[in-house]
């Protein structure tokens, strides 16, 4: 089984350099890779094609949605479209709390 972490603000890998460091820490774990979603990278000022070029051997899943960046200082991501429905669904799911802290796994 392979695990694909989505590089995303708020995650342990949230930009180019944190992704590079994380993959260095997990170099001996080929099961650990990335989910490539270029829409998050665009908002962080990362050119998705360069990110993909550098990490292509660890990309295990891809999904994407439309993204356009307007650099006017007033535009932002739409956080409502679809989020309300997704949050309502997740609140109904009864996941068992994890006994494992992911950050502890990479602390050494």
16-43 tens-digit pLDDT = 999 999 999 999 999 999 999 888 888 7
The beta strand positions in the chain, using DSSP E, are 3-6, 32-36, 59-62
Secondary structure of residue 8 in the 3-state scheme: coil
Domain region containing 40: 3-105
- How many domains is the chain built from? 1
Higher pLDDT residue, 24 or 90?
24
Check: CB of residue 14 under 8 Å from CB of residue 8. Answer: yes
67-76 tens-digit pLDDT = 676 767 676 6
Secondary structure of residue 5 in the 3-state scheme: strand
Q: How far is CA 16 from CA 42, 51, 63, in A?
A: 12, 7, 18
Rounded to the nearest integer, the mean pLDDT of the chain is: 83
In this structure, of 57-66, 70-79, 90-99, the range with the lowest mean pLDDT score is: 70-79
Q: 16-25 vs 48-55: helix axis angle to the nearest 10?
A: 10
Q: What is the pLDDT of residue 52?
A: 93
Secondary structure of residue 101 in the 3-state scheme: coil
């Amino acid at each position: 089984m392979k695990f694909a972490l989505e590089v995303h603000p708020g995650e342990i890998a949230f930009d180019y350099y944190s992704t590079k460091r994380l993959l260095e820490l997990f170099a001996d774990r080929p099961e650990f890779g990335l989910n490539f979603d270029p829409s998050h990278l665009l908002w962080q000022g990362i050119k998705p094609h360069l990110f993909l070029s550098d990490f292509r051997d660890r990309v295990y899943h891809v999904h994407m949605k439309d993204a356009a960046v307007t650099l006017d200082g007033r535009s932002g991501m739409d956080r409502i479209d679809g989020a309300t429905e997704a949050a309502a669904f997740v609140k109904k799911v009864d996941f068992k709390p994890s006994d494992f802290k992911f950050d502890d796994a990479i602390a050494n």
